[in-house]
Amino acid sequence: MIQAQSDYKSNFLKKWDNAAAYTIECAEAMPEDKYDYKPTPESRTFKGQLLHMVSNMMWLSTEYLEGVAYHENLKEIDPSKDQMLTILRETFKLSRQAVEDLPDHKMRDVVNFFAGPMEIQQIMMLMTDHMTHHRGQILVYMRMNDVKAPKYRGW
């Protein structure tokens, strides 16, 4: 059982690193003057999508993987593109470290989540799924602004 959990973690980290690199490439490709673009009035801006991704990664990895309360409010900051890229890179590193530091025997621990009890592995899946969902949105924003998307890699 521990071997399977260890394999899951190593596979997760490989995928996480590739997803991080791809997401950062997307953020780099979008011109700074398009960071405030949003396709509809009720949508998030491109930058808002990135901040939402960062906030979710930090919340899930801090609160559920590390067991430390997360109280950051990124809704009130307005970073430049360079600052946003730094925040994005650092958040991917911190989230990766939280997974790396998680003992294998804790992978199946159940935590109380607003959607109901979940295993830590499910929280990790949620981290990737949520990030992928919002990366898909920023890719659409890029295409709507004639910005060429980086070559996809899904593994």
CA distance 89 to 24: 7
Tell me: is residue 134 an annotated ligand-binding position. yes
**Cβ–Cβ under 8 Å, residues 45 and 35:** yes
Q: Where are the beta strands (DSSP E) in the chain?
A: 110-111, 118-119
C-alpha 146/C-alpha 155 separation (Å) is: 26
Q: With contact defined as beta carbons under 8 Å apart, do 105 and 23 qualify?
A: no
> Distance of CA 80 to CAs 77, 128, 141, 145, Å?
10, 25, 18, 19
Q: Residue 133, annotated ligand binder?
A: no
Q: Of 31, 18, 35, whose CA–CA distance to 131 is shortest? A: 18
Query: CA 84, 86, 90 angle in degrees (round to 5)?
Result: 120
Binding residues for a divalent metal cation: 52, 130, 134
Binding residues: 52, 130, 134
